[in-house]
Amino acid sequence: MVRRIFLIIITFVVSIQIIVYSSANSTKQNAIPDILALQIKSSYPACRLLQLSDSDKGLQEYLIGTPRGINPGYIAADFNGDTKEDYAVLLLCDDKNIPKILFTVFMSSKNGSYSCIDIHTWTGTLYLKNLYLDIFTPGKIREHDSRRVIPIKNHSVLLVLFESASQVYYWKDGKFNNIQISD
């Protein structure tokens, strides 16, 4: 009897430890790095990171339970091949009561700082409610409605307008280039 109670207690303790460990790692992986939060706050004080709650209900349902469902407006990868992590973000900004979304990339520098590259700005509810970011892994990519194929050397930014269009923003020749991959 004592042995059975001991096994139940051990099983319970191990289960709790696994849940706590999984929760801590999940939170850490999905948390926005402090350096990025500070960079956003100092470079774009009237903006905040786009959240799932800002999205259209259909997009929320599509993303829930996926990694993009945690932070649809943020991805991290080495976009230019310098082995340092860069950040692509969608920022929701309030500019004189006119909401807009700013797509920008924070590129890491050798000295640990970041430079901001503003890629695009949108206004209008279609874009405000239906955009999200994902990572495109290196490989070949074919342009939508074209035979043109482009080799992608580094991780790139996949910008998705839900149920409408997708573009890949890839680093080449010292700048971001883009290719539409769906319509």
Is there a single domain that holds both residue 83 and residue 45? yes
Which residues of the chain are under the pLDDT cut of 50? 6-7, 10-29
Task: Give the chain's largest Cα–Cα span.
Answer: 72
Is there a single domain that holds both residue 96 and residue 83? yes
Q: Could you report the per-residue pLDDT of 2-13, keeping only the tens digit for each? A: 555 543 554 443
Is there a single domain that holds both residue 51 and residue 81? yes
Is there a single domain that holds both residue 17 and residue 39? no
Is there a single domain that holds both residue 133 and residue 165? yes
Is there a single domain that holds both residue 110 and residue 136? yes
Can you give the residue range of the structural domain that contains 12?
1-31
pTM above 0.85, yes or no: no
HSE, side-chain direction, 13 A CA sphere, residue 9:
6
Is there a single domain that holds both residue 120 and residue 50? yes
d(CA 81, CA 93): 30
State how many domains the chain has.
Answer: 2
Is there a single domain that holds both residue 22 and residue 46? no
Is there a single domain that holds both residue 14 and residue 89? no
Q: Could you report the per-residue pLDDT of 96-114, keeping only the tens digit for each? A: 777 789 999 999 988 888 9
Is there a single domain that holds both residue 50 and residue 10? no
